[in-house]
Structure 1
Amino acid sequence: MEPETSKFTQSLKAWRKNRKLSQLELALAADVSQRHVSWLETGRSKPSREMVLRLSAAMEVPLRERNTLLNAAGFADVYREQQLDDPAMASIKTVLAEILKHHEPYPAFVLDRYWNIQQQNYAADRMFDMVGGAEALWQAVGDTGERNIALLTVHPHGFKQFVQNWDDVAIQFAQRLQKEALDSCDERIMRRLEQLSAYLPQSDVPTLEPLLPIIPIELNVNGLHLSLCSVISTFGTAQDITADELRVETFYPANEHTADFLAGKV
């Protein structure tokens, strides 16, 4: 078996198991025969470029890792990675700016795959000001130059100190981070998760379903009580790695008092 073929077979099998798919289930999702999937995993057959892309799409492999699978099969990258400041990304920046603007007066953040803040709206600035200012918070949690919202959330000197229902929120937040890390199969994300693990609940036992469809984040900032919930949005048809990895986290008021406060009515 050639080295490239061996790398591809191992990677294909790893992704299929990560997605908890049988060979038959993957074959059905990719519209190929189970025998062909089996032969690809054993190296008996070599994949075409189109087959790598078809299997990757069926397993919802992130674009960055699709390039890795292509390379393992002996093919060049298909997906480009451009910085947000590149001219080709102007339309993406415009969309993000509109999302952030239209979400006012509620906080919103643009995050990369490592949970670093790339952009935020004025309402997010005001939220930082409420708890002592952004720079003071970053210094308190250990300023590394990266503005990591996951660290800021779980660190005892970050937002955690203001969350009244931390035990409930922490379990849900930990499960979200763990799922994102496992779904990505990205070693850097796994290392980041390990760094955060000291502040997260250590349990693999599924939690009981909450009585509410979501668990609001109950904040107490110097006697000011606010209740928020968050929504994560992504680009559903991204063809660029950077766009594929961006996440927009928007916060909404979970009660009328919070809505009025954020709108400046109280």
Structure 2
Amino acid sequence: MAVTTEESTVGTLLRAWRTARGKSQLAVALEAGISSRHLSFVETGRSSPSREMVLTLAETLEVPLRERNALLTAAGFAAVYRETPLDAPVMTDVREALSHILRASEPNPTLVVNRRYDLLMANDAAQRFTSFFVPDWRGGPNIIRMLLAPDGLRPYVQNWHEIASDVVHRTRNELASSQTRDETDEALLRDLVTAEAELRRDGRPARTPSILVSMKMRKGDVALDLFTTITTLGTPLDITLQELRIETLFPADARAREALLRIVGSEMQ
């Protein structure tokens, strides 16, 4: 989904989201409880939607909260969803809950990241895991940049092209579809576009579909096959909370579990 600033009317934004979701005007209209004619008029600018209509269509199209604010602004209404820093006092209970999840995930390395994969929190296993592979990393707390950098995780991921292609494509699409990118978003997006071009030039064929893609890592005599799970918070009404991802690395087999425990410490068993 790509809409330029000049095109960013509420109608064009709604049409872009509908197209991105692969839904017809009729399907969206039926789900939203309006006529397809009304929706067509909204998308073409012949009709101005009410605030409630914008929110209804955004809910129907499963638009992220950050982008719902952009829709409201484009329609001439005030944004309704707040973005509260994770370190704000009001987030104390959230941080405690996340800390509990991180502790309970030991000895599996677990990270809390935002939509850009900036590292926000990590358990002890994750810190030891990172210190083992990239003890001298100075590239900042962004997991994607750590994965892509030649002096980061890249030399130790044996199926790097496969893993990087998936992460870069997914994150680039999410950032590119946003109408509210800031300078930090733009900088990462430029890096992702560059990385995607490099991956395409590599010319490797698309991977064979699989029910599980593991990340194969090796450093010295330590070999690990890991798979990841990503957990999100249910029904959040704050942008920060909706964009949080809790990513956990699990050993794919008993051999990998033994190797992982060598890295993070056997006392965590």
Query: Is it true that 1:170 corresponds to 2:169 in the alignment?
Result: no
1 CA distance for matches of 2:134 and 2:47?
A: 60
Structure 1: state its 5+ residue gaps: 1-5
**Aligned with residue 155 of structure 2, among 149, 161, 171:** 161
Q: Deviations over 1:149-195 (max 9, x none)?
A: 00101112111100112233233333332343355455454652331
Q: Kindly tell me: are residues 70 and 192 of structure 1, through their superposed partners in 2, closer, same or farther at Cα, counting changes over 3 Å?
A: same
Q: Is the 8 A contact 2:172 2:193 kept in 1?
A: no
Structure 2 residue aligned with 1:213: 211
Structure 1 residue aligned with 2:238: 240
Structure 2: state its 5+ residue gaps: 1-7
Q: Deviations over 1:21-53 (max 9, x none)?
A: 221122123232211111111223221111111
Query: Is it true that 1:151 corresponds to 2:136 in the alignment?
Result: no
Q: For 1:226, what is the secondary structure of its paired residue?
A: strand
Q: Is the 8 A contact 2:69 2:81 kept in 1?
A: yes
Q: Report the more deviating stretch, 19-28 or 91-100.
A: 19-28
Q: Deviations over 1:100-148 (max 9, x none)?
A: 1111101111111111111111001110221242xx112xxxx3xx411
One-letter identity of the residue aligned with 2:101: I
TM-score of the aligned structures, taking structure 2 as reference length: 0.84
Structure 2 residue aligned with 1:38: 40
Q: Kindly tell me: are residues 148 and 241 of structure 1, through their superposed partners in 2, closer, same or farther at Cα, counting changes over 3 Å?
A: same
1 CA distance for matches of 2:114 and 2:47?
A: 37
Q: Deviations over 1:214-266 (max 9, x none)?
A: 12111111121111111112112010011111111111111112212334459
Structure 1 residue aligned with 2:194: 198
1 CA distance for matches of 2:225 and 2:44?
A: 53
Q: Is the 8 A contact 1:153 1:159 kept in 2?
A: yes
The CA RMSD measured in Å over matched residues stands at: 2.5
Q: Is the 8 A contact 1:62 1:184 kept in 2?
A: no
Structure 2 residue aligned with 1:114: 116
Q: Report the more deviating stretch, 154-163 or 41-50.
A: 41-50
Q: For 1:38, what is the secondary structure of its paired residue?
A: helix
2 CA distance for matches of 1:167 and 1:9?
A: 38
**Aligned with residue 94 of structure 2, among 88, 92, 95:** 92
Structure 2 residue aligned with 1:17: 19
Q: Kindly tell me: are residues 185 and 259 of structure 1, through their superposed partners in 2, closer, same or farther at Cα, counting changes over 3 Å?
A: farther
Identical aligned pairs, as a percentage? 39
TM-score of the aligned structures, taking structure 1 as reference length: 0.85
1 CA distance for matches of 2:204 and 2:259?
A: 37
Aligned 1:176-191 pairs, distance under 5 A: 176-182=170-176, 184=178, 187-188=181-182, 189=185, 191=187
